[in-house]
Amino acid sequence: MTEKLKVATVSLAGCFGCHMSFLDIDERILDLTAVAEFDRSPFTDIKHCGPCDLGLIEGGLCNSENVHTLREFRRACKLLVAVGACAINGNIPALRNPIPLKECLEESYVHGMGIENPQIPNDPELPLLLNQVRPIHEVVKVDYFLPGCPPSADAIWKFLTDLIAGREPSLPYPLIRYD
């Protein structure tokens, strides 16, 4: 038997919807696991990425930990894919970009309704927030971009099957859309 394709996935500043769309391949997961295996992913208990053929990144960058994880993936994965609008351009979370970060934090933890013990959380265990949400290609080289919020399961499937078959991945026009 030939070696299985090693795939790692991660959610950065996203909503997990792109991972859900991935699971929306439904029973086709059996075809996938016949030729591929998961390394680090929210679906496995592998906490750090080993050498992989393919890394799927959901979400943009909103804190230092996202940046750290993204770089770990870039080092470990031969091909890196920006999956969905958040990874590609920041998407809805980037709506906070015109607003000073302090104002966002104060809204949630100081001035909000029904707040007691108002304070902005501050602990060495909490990663540093970036002042703006950034797309991942600003920080690492990205090999492919899968558009959509989320990309449909069919788009993800087409991409994966092209890649597994050794074809240059390409999406037919109807699969390229945001909504």
Cβ at position 88, least distance to other proteins in Å: 14
Contact residues for ligand SF4, defined by CB under 6 A: 14-15, 17-18, 58-59, 84-86, 91-92, 149-150
Residue 79: what are its φ and ψ, rounded to 5°?
-120, 135
The strand pairing partners of 81, in sequence order, are 56, 144
Q: Which 8-state DSSP code applies to residue 154?
A: H
Cβ at position 144, least distance to ligand SF4 in Å: 15
Q: Using CB under 8 A, which of the segments 28-36, 157-165, 166-174 binds other proteins? A: 28-36
Cα(first)–Cα(last) distance of the chain, in Å?
A: 40
List the interface residues with other proteins, window 149-168 (CB under 8 A).
149-150, 152-153
Burial 24-50 (b: 16+ CB within 10 A, else e): ebeeeeeebeeebebbbbeeeeeeebe
| 48 half-sphere exposure, CB direction, 13 A CA radius | 4
Is residue 67 classed as helix, strand or coil in its secondary structure? helix
List the interface residues with other proteins, window 40-69 (CB under 8 A).
42-47, 59, 61-69
| 123 vs 168, beta carbon nearer other proteins | 123
Task: Report what 67 binds from ligand SF4, other proteins, none; CB cut-off 5-8 Å by kind.
Answer: other proteins
Task: Report what 172 binds from other proteins, ligand SF4, none; CB cut-off 5-8 Å by kind.
Answer: none
3 part of the interface to other proteins, by CB under 8 A? no
Cβ at position 21, least distance to ligand SF4 in Å: 7
Residue-by-residue DSSP string for 10-51: EESBS-SHHHHHHHTTTTHHHHHHHHEEE-SSTTSS--S--S
Cβ at position 158, least distance to ligand SF4 in Å: 17
Residue 129: what are its φ and ψ, rounded to 5°?
-80, 140
Distance CA 84, CA 167 (A): 21
List the interface residues with other proteins, window 66-125 (CB under 8 A).
66-69, 91-93, 95-96, 99, 101-105, 107-109, 112-125
Cβ at position 15, least distance to ligand SF4 in Å: 3
